Chain A
Amino acid sequence: MAEAAGPSMAPGRLMTETRGRVRLHWTDVFSYAYLAFGVLLMFGPVVWLVMSSFKTPAGLVEFPPTFLPLGQIEVTVEGHDDPLLLFDVTMEDGTTRELAQIRRIGIVSQMIDPADPTQTFRVPIENREAIREFRLALENYIDPLERFDFLRYLWNSVVVTTVATIVTLLINSMAAYGLAIYEFRGRGTIMIFVIGTLMIPITVILVPVYLVVTQLGMVNTLWAVILPGAATPTGVFLLRQYMLTIPRDLIEAARMDKASEWTIYWRVVLPLAMPAIAVLAIFSIMWRWNEFLWPLIVLNRSEVYTLQVGLNAFQGELDVQWHYILAMTVVTLIPVVVVFAFLQKFITTGIASSGMK
């Protein structure tokens, strides 16, 4: 900045200005150092996940790991059906050559010159180094979706999230309407009752809700995940507080026009409460997409697994296939990142104003 100000300025003024702008208090240094470290600590693991998810199984077990996903170059050589792996080989005379490996026997590898397939060599394996290039192992993404059930898990998660959010918005906005618009005996009691349910998270009533769900015949169906959490006290509150700000004149006017209460609810109040409903919708989508403990309990068959439960089952297997897990973790993460990227302000103000998540 000071350089751009140029020599046309008086030297004295330039100096004070420069000092005023550039001199950093130690708290500024600390702040920016803290933020830089924060970026590394918060983003780093996710970047590492995404990078790793594109590596081949061979690339994943490599130690020390490489940052970029690399794949060994393969060449097809005349006389060999399968493509052969390419290596840089240090020959006995000290020269290096690019050779393809036919097979490896113990510590000796049989190699062939791709340019001249008649020449074969026997090389100790410590004298060769794999030639690699940047390559995305897209099969990590395609295989689990095609060969395993992940496409189904994905679908189940989408169904649960969509249906649960619609049910949540409907019943909670109806209740909020009832509590915001009408004055009636028992309203206070109902409010206390709703506050009371805040104190009973699902972790406290796992066993009895499981019994209820079993008795309703919903175990191992998606309804078992959708219905128990549909009525949320936070949702009722959020919507009610917002609906209280809607002018009563509007409602009275609609009543004058002989509109029924139901019509007033969905024609007048719901459209006006849209901002609050959108906040609840985003929260509901997040809750449902990420829900884990309850689906883990009521979904015991692979065909009804949601993504979260499927991922957990996959990582708990004896022979952990990390290349698939990492890729599916990225798939699970994508909707959340997309929603966040577009609605960041919306979500953060929603949380700051309602104190819920």
Chain B
Amino acid sequence: MAAQNEARAGLGARLTTAAGWPLRAAFRLLDVPLKVVQRLVGIRGMPWVFLLPNLAFFGIFVVIPVFINFGFSLTGGTQLFLTDRVYTGTEQYAFLLDCERFADPLTCREDRFWRGIYNTGFFIVFQVAFLVLFSLVTALVLNREIRARGFFRAVFFFPVLLSPVVVALIWKWILLRDGLLNAALVSLGFDKILFFVSPEWAMFWAIFVSIWAHMGFYTLILLAGLQAIPPDLYEAAEMDGTRPMRVFRRITLPLLWPTMVVVIVLALIKGVQIFDEVYVLTGGGPGTATQFIVQYIYNTAFTEQVQNFGLAAAASVVLGLVLFVLTMLQLAAARRRDAGESDG
């Protein structure tokens, strides 16, 4: 741990010297004006001076937009500027939620929205389940006494850093009609499969590719969780001759569970917002088979002939509510995990 900190500090020092002097000059230039500011507001005012730029950014690009979003969702028309828009009350929400039977998107007035909701629901159930399962297995394997552990950890981790566009293009190239996978199928005596023409296959690959891309991240968190389990528990179990499956069920799983909950909720939050990889991979198709809720918002507001900002904003509010609930769950889970850690 000490060596690691030293390595960090060494890197930090190198970065400072590299980016050094222009930055230092810029900071020094601000010395005098900020001294004047300090004289004006006093030392008690200084925290606000330091917070100002950040709060201004949050205000302009997050807080004000949240309110404008409600404004959009309560108005109609195709105008972008709020003052030009017609107040329609809750009409947009009524339109979105107008369904004969909620179980069947085709009976809804805005069936693309419901198609997006159902697709997203289906997607996250399978994506999160298998994502967590594979991350757990990988973390368990990586936590064993294996050779070249650092290498294998890197192997599973590196796709996390790739851009979604790159990930999608890598897999699209493999899954095309004359791609590598179909070549393998043909050489094994099967027929070619047109993966992006079949709704089921498109959804399968959307799930598969997003798991491939994000698994390393969750593996890493679970691995940290596994390494936090006190080794003497395992030693005691070994002395008692406890069977490995029992050790896993009675020691590993209960102690890892708080971390698992955090991972599951994090994966849900990311999964609900799925867009980038799948958009490049399938374009939402075939038809609307892999169109998710964020793509519905994006299409409605930005790509349709008639840009329906109001409807997109109303759908965003619905998505925001879902995320709000999930984030609350995440914070609660994280708090429980951290409380558990400090107890142990």
Contacts and interface: CB of A to CB of B under 8 A. Distances in A.
A39 B275 contact: no
A267 to B, nearest CB: 8
A308 B4 contact: no
Contact of A297 (B13, B50, B163, B298): B298
B27 A266 contact: yes
A203 B270 CA distance: 11
Contact of A274 (B15, B55, B82): B15
B58 A194 contact: yes
Given A45-B170, A329-B166, A203 B50 contact: no
A178 B46 CA distance: 8
Contacts of B24: 266
A91 interface: no
A315 B161 contact: no
Contact of A348 (B34, B155, B220): B220
Interface in A157-196: 170-172, 174-175, 177-179, 181-182, 184, 187, 190, 193-195
Contacts of A199: 323-324, 327
A34 B144 CA distance: 13
Nearest to B37: A262
A344 B154 contact: yes
A182 B186 contact: no
A214 B54 contact: no
Given A178-B50, A184-B44, A351-B221, A207 B316 contact: yes
Contacts of A5: none
B190 interface: no
Contact of B50 (A34, A177, A201, A343): A177
B64 A212 contact: yes
B117 interface: no
Nearest to B34: A262
Nearest to B138: A38
Contacts of B313: 207-208
B80 A214 contact: yes
Contacts of A349: 4
By CB atoms of chain B within 10 A, which of A172, A211, A344 has the most? Answer: A211
Contacts of B224: 352-353
Interface stretch (B94-102, B172-180, B199-207, B232-240): B172-180
Contacts of A297: 298, 302
A236 interface: yes
Contacts of B50: 174-175, 177-178, 261, 265
A340 B155 CA distance: 11
A175 B162 contact: no
Contacts of A311: 165-166, 169
Contacts of A65: 178-180, 183
A194 B48 CA distance: 14
B39 to A, nearest CB: 9
A218 B187 CA distance: 53
B323 A204 contact: yes
A346 B8 contact: yes
Contact size range, A: 35 or more
Mostly helix, strand, loop or mixed at chain A's interface? helix
A32 B145 CA distance: 11
Interface stretch (A12-20, A109-117, A137-145, A227-235): A227-235
A184 B62 CA distance: 24
A326 B180 CA distance: 14
A108 interface: no
B221 A209 contact: no
B69 interface: yes
Contacts of B223: 352
Mostly helix, strand, loop or mixed at chain B's interface? helix
Contacts of B173: 48-49, 52, 322, 326
B320 A263 contact: no
Interface string A32-60: 10110011011101101100100000000
By CB atoms of chain A within 10 A, which of B24, B47, B55 has the most? Answer: B47
A95 B40 CA distance: 97
A340 B158 contact: yes
B249 to A, nearest CB: 15
B68 interface: yes
A214 B163 CA distance: 26
A228 B170 contact: no
Given A42-B159, A274-B16, A312-B280, A208 B51 contact: no
Interface stretch (A80-88, A99-107, A126-134, A287-295): A287-295
Contact of B301 (A207, A260, A281, A292): A207
Interface in B44-72: 44, 46-51, 53-55, 57-58, 60-69, 71-72
26 contacts: A35-B155, A39-B152, A42-B155, A65-B179, A193-B55, A199-B323, A203-B297, A207-B68, A208-B313, A211-B65, A212-B68, A230-B61, A261-B46, A274-B13, A274-B15, A278-B15, A286-B161, A311-B165, A312-B165, A326-B169, A333-B162, A345-B7, A346-B11, A352-B221, A352-B223, A353-B224
Interface of A: 27-28, 30-32, 34-35, 38-39, 41-43, 45-46, 48-49, 52, 61, 63-65, 170-172, 174-175, 177-179, 181-182, 184, 187, 190, 193-195, 197-201, 203-212, 214-215, 227-231, 236, 260-263, 265-266, 271, 274-275, 277-278, 281, 286, 289-290, 292-293, 296-297, 308, 311-312, 315-316, 322, 325-326, 329, 332-333, 336-337, 339-340, 343-349, 351-353, 355, 357
Give me the 8 closest cross-chain CB pairs, A-B, nearest first. A274-B12, A178-B50, A290-B163, A175-B54, A208-B65, A231-B57, A208-B68, A262-B34
